[in-house]
Structure 1
Amino acid sequence: MPRKGMRSICFNPRTPSFSSHQSSHSTPSRRSSSEFMIDQTIETASAIIMKWNPNSSTYASVTSLFYENKSEARLFIKCVNELQKVMQLIVSDDSTSPKLVESQILMQIAMKRLQKEFYQILSTNRAYLDPESVSVRSSRTSARSSISDYEDDGSRDDDVHVASDSITELEDVSSFAMADLRSIAECMISSGYAKECVSIYKIIRKSIIDEGIYRLGVERVSSSQMNKMDWEVLDLKIKNWLEAMKVSMKTLFNGERILCDSVFSMSDSVRESCFTDISKEGANLLFVFPELVATKNKKSSPDKLFRLLDMFTSIAQHWQDIETIFSFESASTIRSQALNSLIKLSDSVRSMISKFEQSIYKESSKSPPPGGGLHSLTTNTMDHLCLLADYSNVLMDILADWTPQPRKSSSLPEYSFSGSYSVSDDSPTSAISACIAWLVTVLLCKLDGKAKHYKDVSISYLFIANNLQHVVSKVRTSNLHYLLGEEWTAKHEAKVRQYAANYEKLAWGRVFSSLPENPTAVISRKQANEWFRRFNNSFEEAYKRQSSCIVPDTKLRDEIKVSIAAKLVKVYREFYDMHRLWITGAGDEENVRSIVRFDPEDVGHYLSDLFFGTVSTASTSSSSSASAPASSLQRHSRDFQLSFRV
């Protein structure tokens, strides 16, 4: 009989009272075995149910059945289950039987008792049934199961004994509370009181989830509030959200799902309804936040880009947990919200990368760095790209369909690195690799245009060499190398050497040509004087022009110095050794100094002082030329000085 129908019988004023039923029972000898079993079941159930009727005694109203006496609690559940079976039997035989009314009254009293016990267990064990404790307990249970399987194989040894004992010691109150809740839930659901049981569970457990979300710093924020929020405040909220996401997936929602599945294991529909209603509001609050951040006004910054990538990474990393925990059909809106946030974050990241590309295009500074040094556009862009490369795993998904979009109307100069954005790679990283390579190409094109602002063409080449070297160095020492590959890196390293060679040729070519091709050839004193004067003038002029040049990269700086010295110092030394004595013997010392202003050591010292941006001008007096290198030797490596004495 439907529950509503049974209740109508129960409250019929013409129905005989419970006490009169007891007095009207006939003796067992006159009843059939079935009737005897029914009477016995009702009598046994009545004894224990009435004992724990909250309205029957003060003791029953203030004491917990499950806390005071576990064995009696199990008996109580057993009697209620037997009473339910008897009621079904009575209904099938005679739906108007007074015994049905008597059983229904007992059932109502029992359900009130179980409702009270269910509430007390949930309330008093709140600390032991928090999602974190439940999650940990679940892990321990899994570990114990693994050990049991191992024991069944007959392979148990001392190590297994230790592990098993350790897990047993870790078992806490939550396991017993969950078992009690499950037995009560099963009893109430099978007796037709699922609604009352579920109602209590939802009220208490939802408050735990909502409180947990609040404590994790996730609050309801409207779109208008988000758009008015300062970046510093939003950045703090994003940091809180990232931590909240981690805790929510591993403990809060995971623990609640485990608890709900355990308590309502007998009914798929009940546990689905319970978990979805409990978690839906908190989960949607958690997953809607990234979407709001992704759509927050149109302003972008590198900091915001990386925060969006952090949020995308967090959802992506926990996606399997999201699908597992919120697997119910009724929780599909939660999964949809998480997916929608992923899509919005992905769109926003692509948009911000596009804006970053535009910012390189639009960089409009006209004054190039003094001495051909590093441009701030180079350092800022490469720092940004290095950080992007650290997110290559998620960017592979975000930029899967990326293709370069060259601007037909752009003001970029004709660039000799054409095709450098191409990365010959069929791996899953090819899209992001091509994107990064393209952004580097845009940077180098822009630098190529800025190099033309130098009046000295040689410094233009040094500027390109310096900035390209910084690019290559950043690629070598970051995840960019994994994305761009060795072939790309080696190709651009060769371009650095090419530009350095172009600088050397333009800046020092006249000095190289100021010495005879055969420095040891026999020439006249007049010819020797002329060669010395030509060298003095060209060297002083080149040194004066290049003294302000800067090469920040130590390796490139040394390579350029060694290359210049190899072409200059050795030839000059041979020429000097061959012809100085001749000139010395031809006149007084002052006249000789006016002709031979530098000895080979001086030349090496002056070269070693180059490319730091703070160098003294080469002196025309021998005394000055001797003093300047002396300070240089104190500042720079002696090993490098020796490299000039080739």
Structure 2
Amino acid sequence: MEDQDLPPPDAADETAQVDEEPTSIASRDDRLSQEIDQFISVLDADDQSDSSSPPEIVGAVQIFSDLLDFRVVEYESGSKKWTQLEEDECSSFVDTVNRTAKLLKSLSRFHSVEYYAALTNRVSGIQQRAMSFMEVEFKSILDDYQTSYDRDHTNEIEEAKTKQLSSSPSNVQDASETDSPDQSESPPEKDEFLGYSDEMISKLNKLSKGLIAGGHETECTELYFFVRRNAMEQNLKLLQFEKFSIDEMQKMQWDPVEKEISEWLKMFKNFATSLLPSERRLVDAVFSENNTEISDNLFGNLARIVLFYLLTFAEAVMMTKRSAEKLFKFLDIYETLRESIPELEKLLSGDWLFQLKTAASLISNMLGEAIFNILGDLENSIQADTGKTQVPGGGVHPLTCYTMTYLKHACEYRDTLEQVFREHKKIDRPDSATGSDHDPDSDHDPGSQDQNFCVQAGPGSAFQLQLAKVMDLLDANLEVKSRLYKDPSLSLIFLMNNGRFILQQTKGTGEMRSLMGDPWVRKRSSDLRSYHTNYKRETWTKLLQCLSHEGLSVNGKVMKPVLKERFKSFNAMFDEIHRTQTTWVVSDDQLQSELRVSISAIVIPAYRSFMGRFSQVFTPGRQTEKYIKYQPEDIETCIEELFDGNANQPGKKR
């Protein structure tokens, strides 16, 4: 059959099809489709592809191609918009394109036959125009996505804040409670497909199906990747993410890096729990009719872009110079990766999953090693603190404040640090990096404390053992520093202050209290009582000897010169104690009160008894005033002035 024998396009038929009833159009299209499918079956069944007399081309082929050409012209001219088409019309067009692709494949078997080649070229030309149109529409709908949930959600929060600030003070709390998003609630439905409506998703799905069936899989997937990559990069900009190289990060001060980390933490969680899952749902919905390999690869490539940026940032932070102040941000990053990576793993498969696991595992291991070493550095810094400067008044040493505050915050990450130490503790190094050596001159015996602690903590609790070791090192250091004070009483006040601070910080932190255990707390409390007892013995025993009755009477008669000397010695000694110890510091109110009460309990009764028995010996008047300088109430007042850190004058005698 020659090309000119083909029935020409019938313009009247093209016009008539517009005026037909929808039911008749559908019926006609069904019949036409059936005829084309039958013809394709005939072509595919014919085993004489090299024959010069292939099956005769049925008239339905000409009508079918004319109708497709007519619809393509409508779309190309803009008289019909794909986004305005009804669902069934979209499906019909995609089915037509798919059927055309099958027809072309079957016709190509007989390309050597002239009239088959002519028909193939014509149908192929129409099909290419249809593909071009579908590509344009596919990209147009993809580009028409609305702002992502994250941005809308941020705007909602900002609007809520603005309303809250403009409301009256009495309504601020209510506004906060009303407008603040509930983290436990599911995100709004609009986030399901990142701003694409269900109708848009349906049209994108049909277009992808048609493009892939028409042999334009590469063009279709490239278009999708290009648009969604731009959308992801836009999200990164909206979140004000700035990527720093390792060299740039190492040159930055820690404060700006710390702020960037805080933003990174929120961003990584946002991508892991919201944006990337939505991105996965989107690509699955658009390419649901096709092999999952397409959506897997597209999503894997898109996720790799974001995760590369985010994980590279984490790696750059980790490569900065190690220091104690960075521990907690390192822990935050470690926890974020630990919690988020499993969620991301659910979204990936194959090589993409392997790449994510490899990269995340490498960074997590390096972070864990850095965290482990930072706490090892804390041991070294305590041992290296050999300063000879005394803390004025025997107060709490800065090393004690720093160490306990540091440990208090570290214990908030108990579970994470347990994991880190379990994974990074060296088997051949049962002790920490600094070993178990202590100051050989120290009377402190941390070994016994370690032994008591290990019984409770158990051999598998590596972080507990590490915490106990740091405490032991701090004790040993404070013991050495206490010897810097020449006054033994002040040395004991120093140990009391620091011991009390350590105990209170431990008991006030649930995690640290649990980690150290009851035996350790009881041992600490016992040590404090010993310091207290030794202080009273060291300071007040000599003073009380002045109030002894021994040696004052001979044959029942009070020796007045000896009594005068006793009062003079008491006055001088008490004045010196008061003058000195009012400059000493006991910052813990409860400890200060306990000390004053215990001192009053031993001094005032003894002084009152001594005065009651011997004050009559003196001649009333000037002699009494000369030797009896203090009344019991004066003594009590002076004791209440001790440990204030002020150089008060001796209390006025009554």
TM-score range, shorter chain: 0.7 to 0.9
**Alpha carbons 2:586, 2:644 under 8 Å: kept:** yes
Q: 1:179 to 1:228 in 2, by over 3 A?
A: same
Report the secondary structure of 1:551's partner residue. coil
**Alpha carbons 1:529, 1:595 under 8 Å: kept:** yes
- 2:446 is aligned, of 393, 403, 418, to 418
Q: C-alpha distance in 2, partners of 1:360/1:411?
A: 12
Q: C-alpha distance in 2, partners of 1:593/1:131?
A: 84
- 2:293 is aligned, of 248, 269, 275, to 269
1:237 corresponds to: 260
1:353 corresponds to: 375
Q: Map 1:197-596; keep pairs closer than 5 Å.
A: 197-265=220-288, 266-297=290-321, 300-302=323-325, 304-400=326-422, 401-402=424-425, 403-407=431-435, 411=439, 413-419=441-447, 420-421=449-450, 422-426=453-457, 430-478=461-509, 479-516=511-548, 524-526=557-559, 529=564, 531-580=566-615, 582-583=616-617, 586-596=618-628
**What whole-Å deviation, never above 9, does each CA across 1:153-212 have from its counterpart, x for those lacking one?**
xxxxxxxxxx9xx97999975222112212222233234332121111111111112232
Q: C-alpha distance in 2, partners of 1:523/1:192?
A: 127
Q: C-alpha distance in 2, partners of 1:276/1:173?
A: 20
Counterpart residue identity of residue 543, structure 2: V
Residue 216 of structure 1 deviates from its aligned partner by 2.7
Q: C-alpha distance in 2, partners of 1:523/1:87?
A: 138
**Alpha carbons 2:482, 2:495 under 8 Å: kept:** yes
Q: C-alpha distance in 1, partners of 2:395/2:148?
A: 64
**Alpha carbons 2:495, 2:531 under 8 Å: kept:** yes
Residue 495 of structure 1 deviates from its aligned partner by 1.1
Q: C-alpha distance in 1, partners of 2:533/2:611?
A: 26
Q: C-alpha distance in 1, partners of 2:646/2:152?
A: 66
**Alpha carbons 2:464, 2:516 under 8 Å: kept:** yes
Counterpart residue identity of residue 257, structure 2: L
Residue 457 of structure 1 deviates from its aligned partner by 1.1
Q: 1:184 to 1:119 in 2, by over 3 A?
A: same
1:147 corresponds to: none
2:143 corresponds to: 123
Counterpart residue identity of residue 353, structure 1: L
TM-score when scaled to structure 1? 0.78
TM-score when scaled to structure 2? 0.77
Counterpart residue identity of residue 351, structure 2: E
2:161 corresponds to: none
Stretches of structure 1 that go unaligned for 5 or more consecutive residues are 1-14, 135-162, 627-646
259-268 or 168-177, which deviates more: 168-177
Counterpart residue identity of residue 271, structure 1: S
Q: Map 1:187-202; keep pairs closer than 5 Å.
A: 187-202=210-225
Identity, % of aligned positions: 22
In the alignment, does 2:98 pair up with 1:81?
A: yes
Residue 591 of structure 1 deviates from its aligned partner by 0.7
Residue 380 of structure 1 deviates from its aligned partner by 1.5
Q: 1:114 to 1:21 in 2, by over 3 A?
A: farther
Q: 1:342 to 1:63 in 2, by over 3 A?
A: farther
Counterpart residue identity of residue 49, structure 1: L
Aligned-residue Cα RMSD (Å) equals 3.7
Residue 220 of structure 1 deviates from its aligned partner by 3.8
- 2:653 is aligned, of 625, 639, 645, to 625
**What whole-Å deviation, never above 9, does each CA across 1:448-498 have from its counterpart, x for those lacking one?**
111111111111111111111111111122232232223322321221121
Residue 524 of structure 1 deviates from its aligned partner by 3.7
**What whole-Å deviation, never above 9, does each CA across 1:563-612 have from its counterpart, x for those lacking one?**
111112122223323333x32xx513111122322221111111111011
**Alpha carbons 2:94, 2:209 under 8 Å: kept:** no
1:632 corresponds to: none
Residue 271 of structure 1 deviates from its aligned partner by 0.8
Counterpart residue identity of residue 358, structure 1: N
1:52 corresponds to: 71
**Alpha carbons 1:399, 1:432 under 8 Å: kept:** yes
**Alpha carbons 2:265, 2:333 under 8 Å: kept:** yes
Q: 1:605 to 1:210 in 2, by over 3 A?
A: same
Q: 1:60 to 1:614 in 2, by over 3 A?
A: same
Residue 256 of structure 1 deviates from its aligned partner by 1.4
280-289 or 451-460, which deviates more: 280-289
1:141 corresponds to: none
**Alpha carbons 2:280, 2:347 under 8 Å: kept:** yes
**Alpha carbons 1:413, 1:448 under 8 Å: kept:** no
**Alpha carbons 2:191, 2:278 under 8 Å: kept:** no
Q: 1:406 to 1:115 in 2, by over 3 A?
A: closer
Report the secondary structure of 1:107's partner residue. helix
Q: 1:545 to 1:20 in 2, by over 3 A?
A: farther
Residue 356 of structure 1 deviates from its aligned partner by 2.2
1:6 corresponds to: none
Count of residues in correspondence between the two structures: 564
**Alpha carbons 1:519, 1:575 under 8 Å: kept:** no
**Alpha carbons 1:131, 1:254 under 8 Å: kept:** no
Residue 375 of structure 1 deviates from its aligned partner by 1.1
534-543 or 443-452, which deviates more: 534-543
Q: C-alpha distance in 1, partners of 2:268/2:595?
A: 53
319-328 or 451-460, which deviates more: 319-328
**What whole-Å deviation, never above 9, does each CA across 1:339-392 have from its counterpart, x for those lacking one?**
222122112222222222222111232121122111111111211111211222
Residue 395 of structure 1 deviates from its aligned partner by 1.3
Q: C-alpha distance in 2, partners of 1:397/1:253?
A: 28
Counterpart residue identity of residue 259, structure 2: L
**Alpha carbons 1:218, 1:286 under 8 Å: kept:** no
Q: C-alpha distance in 2, partners of 1:72/1:350?
A: 64
Q: Map 1:123-162; keep pairs closer than 5 Å.
A: 123-124=143-144, 126-127=145-146
Q: 1:424 to 1:309 in 2, by over 3 A?
A: same
- 1:598 is aligned, of 624, 627, 630, to 630
Stretches of structure 2 that go unaligned for 5 or more consecutive residues are 11-27, 40-57, 154-184, 426-430
Counterpart residue identity of residue 216, structure 1: L
1:641 corresponds to: none
Report the secondary structure of 1:542's partner residue. helix
Residue 101 of structure 1 deviates from its aligned partner by 5.7
Counterpart residue identity of residue 70, structure 1: E
Q: 1:131 to 1:453 in 2, by over 3 A?
A: closer
Report the secondary structure of 1:613's partner residue. coil
